[in-house]
Amino acid sequence: MGSALRVLVVGAGPTGLTAAIELARRGIEVKLVEQRAGGSGLSRAVGLQPASLALLQPSGAARRILSEAIAFQSVAVHREHELLANIAFPAGGAMLHGLAQDRTEYHLRATLESCGGELLYGHKLTALRQMSGRVVAALQPADNDQAINEEFDYLIGADGVKSTVRDLLALDFKGFELAQPWSIADIDCSGWDTSAFRIYLRDGGRIVVVAPMEANRVRVVSNTDNALEVLPVPVDVVDIRRQSSFPIAIRQVANYRVGRVFLAGDAAHCHSPVGGRGMNLGIADAADLAARLSVGQGDGYHRARHAAGRQVIAESERTRKILMSRHWPVRRLVETAFRAVGRYDFLQRRAISGILGRQ
């Protein structure tokens, strides 16, 4: 079933790729532009929640991703060396999956190609204007000084935290930045148990998370300036692929829609990696928006997705503040709570539904 609609998606991260797939598979003419020259090599998000995989299932993207992703058997929470709780996913039930973001994007690109969507690398959106029910976008090819103007029915800004689309719409990205940057290390290692996603709570409100991405590749993230140094257990490092620090901002735009232009993913919201929700939230934004636009109706998108984003940000912030509290009574309470979760089935079930999340 074809359609006369033309949609421009700006940014080929997980949000933009999902939006383009979901439009293309419904027969909508979609153009996805990305300023980078090719696919990103950055791993960033690891955790894929069941709701994201369900949204990516009709296009076949979930099947491709699952052919490579790791299924975590549990989330293990440690206090220094002590295991406080091993929150195990029930066999045959929903699980958390892990895959480096560059590989997730690889599978999304392959899916988009199979749906007949157009992805143009080396093209940057530099300007837009809305007139007579159309959006005119200026697209600047990397090898040309001259931007090309093209008309579309709708434009989706999935262009990340430094969104050009958001700037061109003069929308405020209200929020704040944490004083302490976080650090990340992607390492190849041997002998690490990849069946669990591990969280280590350390003195002084420090936290270290180890997320397996492949058989012998893990991501270590910490709210300190050296994630590997603060890991309380030895790891047999074969190669450090990447080690860096990054600032954490907690922000959300007040309006996800201006006329025929929409914001989705990190362009609309960002928060700390606690809870691993950023990419999953972007995928859900994209799927919701594509379903609405495919019937020529963007109404309701802002209201639904702004509320979902606000809730995820609030939950993520609440958890971050509790897990990283420096106050010993709070820390004792957290430890006692995790020990109870480790012991009682009904608390495990509640913890599991929190980890697997809604979007």
In whole angstroms, how close is the CB of 346 to ligand FAD at the nearest point?
27
The residue among 98 and 331 lying less far from ligand FAD, judged by its C-beta, is: 98
Cβ 273 vs Cβ 182: under 8 Å = yes
The residue among 315 and 335 lying less far from ligand FAD, judged by its C-beta, is: 315
The residue among 147 and 322 lying less far from ligand FAD, judged by its C-beta, is: 147
DSSP 204: G
Residue that has been written with the tokens 């509320």 in this structure:
307
In whole angstroms, how close is the CB of 206 to ligand FAD at the nearest point?
17
The residue among 27 and 141 lying less far from ligand FAD, judged by its C-beta, is: 141
**Footprint of ligand FAD on this chain (CB under 6 A)?**
10-16, 33-36, 40, 44-47, 101, 124-125, 158-160, 164, 184, 221, 246, 265-266, 273, 276-280, 282
Buried/exposed 113-151: b ≥16 CB within 10 Å, e otherwise: eebebebeeebbbeebeeeeeebebbbbeeeeeebeeee
Dist. CA 44–CA 104, nearest whole Å: 11
What is the DSSP code string of 261-326?
Answer: EEE-GGGTEE--STTS-HHHHHHHHHHHHHHHHTTT--TTHHHHHHHHHHHHHHHHHHHHHHHT--
Q: Are strands 118-121 and 29-34 parallel, antiparallel or unpaired?
A: parallel
Both structure tokens of 75: 């989330």
In whole angstroms, how close is the CB of 37 to ligand FAD at the nearest point?
10
Q: H/E element holding 345?
A: helix 345-356
The residue among 13 and 117 lying less far from ligand FAD, judged by its C-beta, is: 13
In whole angstroms, how close is the CB of 47 to ligand FAD at the nearest point?
4
Dist. CA 97–CA 70, nearest whole Å: 5
The residue among 269 and 331 lying less far from ligand FAD, judged by its C-beta, is: 269
In whole angstroms, how close is the CB of 139 to ligand FAD at the nearest point?
8
The residue among 277 and 306 lying less far from ligand FAD, judged by its C-beta, is: 277
Dist. CA 21–CA 43, nearest whole Å: 21
In whole angstroms, how close is the CB of 86 to ligand FAD at the nearest point?
20
> Facing residues of 155 across strands?
8, 261
The residue among 201 and 227 lying less far from ligand FAD, judged by its C-beta, is: 227
In whole angstroms, how close is the CB of 59 to ligand FAD at the nearest point?
16
In whole angstroms, how close is the CB of 329 to ligand FAD at the nearest point?
30
Dist. CA 165–CA 175, nearest whole Å: 18
Cβ 126 vs Cβ 98: under 8 Å = no
